[in-house]
Structure 1
Amino acid sequence: MELTVLGCGDAFGNGGRNNTSFLVSDKDERILIDCGATTLIRLKAEEIDLDEISTIIISHFHGDHFGGIPFFLISSMFENPRKNPLSIVGPKGVAKRVYELQEAMYAGTAAKTLEMDLTYYEYEQGKAITIKDKVIHAWEVDHSLPSIPHAVRLEWRGKSVAFSGDTSWTDNLVPLSKGTDLFICECNFLDKVSFGHLGYSELLEKHSAFDTKQLWLTHMADEVIEAKDLKINRLSDGQKLII
């Protein structure tokens, strides 16, 4: 199984990086973890058939994490009509949020999403979501409350991938990481401690509590991207990881 980093940037595009989106692939199916505004562009660059993407998992309702869904859907409706069903998994109210965003971005197209083979699933704390052979867990985290922030974990075909979403330190990151093959953790700052995002210095002190085979940093400001000799690996756009 492979993970392609479609985007690992922050909301401000620091480092010239694309919005957050990770593509998890095996030989015949693909899953998106987050779908930031630049996601369709990156999928086209990777020559990915959208119809092979069965599931989109959304961590929270900020544009750099779910703002790419309207572009994904208009391509799936008009450019290359989907033949396969699509599941969108996200925080409470995800169906309403996607519908409203679709209409705001491309007026008149939201109603057409109701004609698609599209199923929505909402997170419930402590309850797993099962979609065929995929199991998705979500933990509440500490970020902008109106965005309904969650960390997410995908268990699929014997592998597990976790993503912190956007958050400051929360003990929920520890069970999120437990036994994972890959854990992608946000790290917006170098030394700063601020609500809503993690800093490298803080994470360096606490990351030994994580139980994962691979730990990688994402959502980095320039100061983290440019820092020398960090002890935790940093992602870059276009990178591919074997899970």
Structure 2
Amino acid sequence: MRVTILGCGDAFGSGGRFQAATLIEAGGAACLLDCGASTMSAINTYGVDPDRIDLIALTHLHGDHFGGVPFFLLDAQWLRARRRPLVIAGPPGTGERLRSANEVLFNGSANRSDWGFSWRVEEIEPGASHSLCGFDIRTVEVVHPCGAPPTAVRIEADGKAFVHSGDTEWTDALPAIARGTDLFFLECFAYRPTPTHLDYTTILARRDAFDAAAIVLTHLGPEMLKRLDAVDRALFDVAEDGRVFEL
């Protein structure tokens, strides 16, 4: 399994980082986990061919995690002349939220019937497991208000396991879904406790709860970016756009 960070920033592009997008490759298949509004810029910056992405999986339905999907679809239709099928998987409500986003951003696209490639939405109930495009996917509900169930996502392929927390406050669901994983991306928006997100002091105090081979802090906000020197690098790694992990 190969994991490439295309974007690890917060909603505001703090530190000049792209919004959430992680490319996971295994067994000849490719999954894009989250697709923030800046993802097409990230894809072009890092020379990724979006036509080879089989699956877009979404942790939750905030714009910095799914707002790039309408741009991805229109790029596939008009620039790439895509023919390869695409699956978009997300929590309940993904289909309607994406339809609305398509219509707001590109009027008329929500109801078009002349797509040059087939694509469909798969909605995954938290706690359920799905096999999609060569990846085994399991989700759990976390704590982050966004109008639909927010989830942490576990993706397994080639005998390896990758987990992304999505955005969330502390919840015991996190160590449960991360148990035994090879790589765990854990959001850490702030240094001190803050509503609706995780912070470094909370994560540090609960580090022993996690059974993960490697924990990478991601989705860093401006306060956290200023305090990177305080991160215990023996316990945590820190995400950077463009970084690649070979599992």
Report TM bin, short chain: over 0.9
Whole-angstrom CA distance in 1 between matches of 2:201 and 2:8: 20
Q: Among 236, 239, 244, which residue is 1:240 paired with?
A: 244
Whole-angstrom CA distance in 2 between matches of 1:189 and 1:93: 28
Q: Which 10-residue stretch deviates more, 223-232 or 9-18?
A: 223-232
CA change 1:27–1:229 in 2 (3 A) is: same
Deviations 1:199-232 (A, max 9, x none): 1011001121111111000111122122214112
Residue 211 of structure 1 corresponds to 211
Per the TM alignment, residue 236 of structure 1 is displaced from its structure 2 partner at its CA by 1.0
2:51 is paired with a residue whose SS is: helix
Q: Which 10-residue stretch deviates more, 208-217 or 25-34?
A: 25-34
**1:178-193 alignment runs, 5 A limit:** 178-191=179-192, 193=193
Q: Where in structure 1 are there 5+ consecutive unaligned residues?
A: none
Residue 76 of structure 2 corresponds to 76
TM-score, normalised by the number of residues in structure 2:
0.93
1:188 is paired with a residue whose SS is: coil
Contact 2:6/2:42 (8 A) holds in 1: yes
Whole-angstrom CA distance in 1 between matches of 2:32 and 2:133: 16
Residue 154 of structure 1 corresponds to 155
Residue 94 of structure 1 corresponds to 94
Per the TM alignment, residue 181 of structure 1 is displaced from its structure 2 partner at its CA by 0.9
Q: CA RMSD in A?
A: 1.5
Q: Which amino acid aligns with 1:187?
A: C
Q: Which amino acid aligns with 1:230?
A: V
CA change 1:139–1:113 in 2 (3 A) is: farther
CA change 1:113–1:233 in 2 (3 A) is: farther
The percent identity for this pair of structures is: 37
Contact 1:142/1:195 (8 A) holds in 2: no
Q: Which 10-residue stretch deviates more, 213-222 or 27-36?
A: 27-36
Runs of 4+ in 1 over 6 A off after TM superposition: none
Contact 2:18/2:38 (8 A) holds in 1: yes
Q: Where in structure 2 are there 5+ consecutive unaligned residues?
A: none
2:213 is paired with a residue whose SS is: coil
Per the TM alignment, residue 190 of structure 1 is displaced from its structure 2 partner at its CA by 0.5
CA change 1:145–1:180 in 2 (3 A) is: same
